[in-house]
Amino acid sequence: MVTQGLDGKRVVVTAGASGIGRTIASRLAAAGARVHICDVAEQSLTAFHDDFPDIGVTLADVAAPTDVDRLFDDVIAHLGGLDILVNNAGISGPTALVEDVDYESWTRTLAVNLTGAFLCARHAVPLLKQAQGGSIVNMSSNSGLMGVPRRSPYVATKWALVGFTRTLAMELGPFGIRVNAVCPGNVEGDRIERCIAAEEATCGLSREDIISDWVQGTSLRCFQTADDIANTILFLCSGAGAAISGQAIAVDGHVDHV
């Protein structure tokens, strides 16, 4: 894995205490980056800090402006600046037909997945400009490249993140700042298990049938791993990805139909 240019880079990973975020943060640190994470789950954050004491941690909900203010105060105190932002924080939102989605679920999904990325980028951009270049990676989804029934809040945010990414790439390119979106498919772990359970509850299908259907919908006939996603992010943030910006890159085994 080519990761040149990451040694000493100052990185923020949101929702970094567990799941994909934990893998991203630990892999960046192993590549020589100086990393700070936030997470909304205090217990997970404590466990992460026990395992990675050199990585800074902040308890924060990215949807809360005051929490994001505090996060970046901690980042400046811990890292002294910023070279890379990974906007990883996101929630699945409800699994329901649009007429059954309640307003609170809709607004919470937008707040975490979209507004959270905006709030973090708003703080990060001046620091990246001070560093005279850097990288932002927004965690979209292959759902941000297609429609998915019964997932309207989630899909809406992931499509919006692709547009946000491409607009930021245009704004920030003249400052040497690259902005890309990574679009995972079905990634092994707790989150996909929750999505499978939600599908079971709404569709009446078995877990085995749901997994089979999702796997058969990919050309590579597989789910992805957190390391697959981290590998792509490390590439994009390293010198190997220096010419890549404004892209929405699917890491999904090639989903060829919904």
Domain boundaries, the chain: 10-187+225-251, 189-223
pLDDT at site 198:
76
- Which tens digit of pLDDT belongs to each residue from 45-80? 999 999 999 999 999 999 999 999 999 999 999 999
Whether 120 and 233 have beta carbons less than 8 Å apart is answered as no
Q: Which residues of the chain have pLDDT under 50?
A: 1, 257-258
**CATH class for the region spanning 10-187+225-251:** alpha beta
Catalytic residue chosen out of the listed positions 52, 72, 154, 223: 154
pLDDT at site 3:
57
pLDDT at site 173:
98
CA dihedral 55, 59, 62, 65 (to 10 degrees): -120
Per residue, the 3-state secondary structure of the chain, as one string, reads CCCCCCCCCEEEECCCCCHHHHHHHHHHHHCCCEEEEEECCHHHHHHHHHHCCCCEEEECCCCCHHHHHHHHHHHHHHHCCCCEEEECCCCCCCCECHHHCCHHHHHHHHHHHHHHHHHHHHHHHHHHHHCCCEEEEEECCHHHCCCCCCEHHHHHHHHHHHHHHHHHHHHHHHHCEEEEEEEECCECCHHHHHHHHHHHHHHCCCHHHHHHHHHHCECCCCCECHHHHHHHHHHHHCHHHCCCCCCEEEECCCECCC
103 catalytic residue (yes or no):
no
